[in-house]
Amino acid sequence: QQPVQSPQAVILREGEDAVINCSSSKALYSVHWYRQKHGEAPVFLMILLKGGEQKGHDKISASFNEKKQQSSLYLTASQLSYSGTYFCGTEIGGGSNYKLTFGKGTLLTVNP
């Protein structure tokens, strides 16, 4: 079952912040975040494992609340280069489960 991402789309001005959420109805082992620019392939951003960890990459960070089966991606002081569609991918169970289930994506547009 696909995780649910919200919002579906968000428009920002350069320098503003945004939060993208990803939630699942199933117990998660890990959450993966990817970004896809228009006409290109998705690119990996980060992985969060169960344990409630947070990670950061430049001004993009994420958290994972395994009790709520939710992850949030935080984009701080957005730049034009942050524009694109963000996908979360969820892993259920771990162990011999080798696949991810991706959400439908969140379209982020950063304007000057």
Partner 1 sequence: DAGITQSPRHKVTETGTPVTLRCHQTENHRYMYWYRQDPGHGLRLIHYSYGVKDTDKGEVSDGYSVSRSKTEDFLLTLESATSSQTSVYFCAISRSGPGTQYFGPGTRLLVL
**Interface with partner 1 in residues 9-68 (CB under 8 A):** 32, 34, 40-44, 47
How many residues bind partner 1 (CB under 8 A)? The answer is: 21
Look up residue 40 and give its DSSP letter. Answer: S
Name the DSSP letter for residue 3: P
CB of 64 to partner 1, least distance (A): 15
User: Taking CB under 8 A as the criterion, which residues in 67-106 touch partner 1?
Assistant: 87, 89, 91, 97-105
How many Cβ atoms from other residues are within 10 Å of residue 55's Cβ? Answer: 16
d(CA 18, CA 26): 25
Nearer of residues 13 and 41 to partner 1, judged by Cβ: 41
Nearer to partner 1, 13 or 25 (CB): 25
Nearer to partner 1, 51 or 98 (CB): 98
Q: Check the CA dihedral 24-28-75-36 and report its sign.
A: negative
By C-beta, is 17 or 97 nearer to partner 1?
Answer: 97
Q: Which of 106, 71, 80 has the alpha carbon at shortest distance from 16?
A: 80
Smallest separation, CB 77 to partner 1 (Å): 26
What amino acid occupies position 95?
A: G
Longest dimension (CA), the chain: 45
Residues within the interface to partner 1 (CB under 8 A):
2, 32, 34, 40-44, 47, 87, 89, 91, 97-105
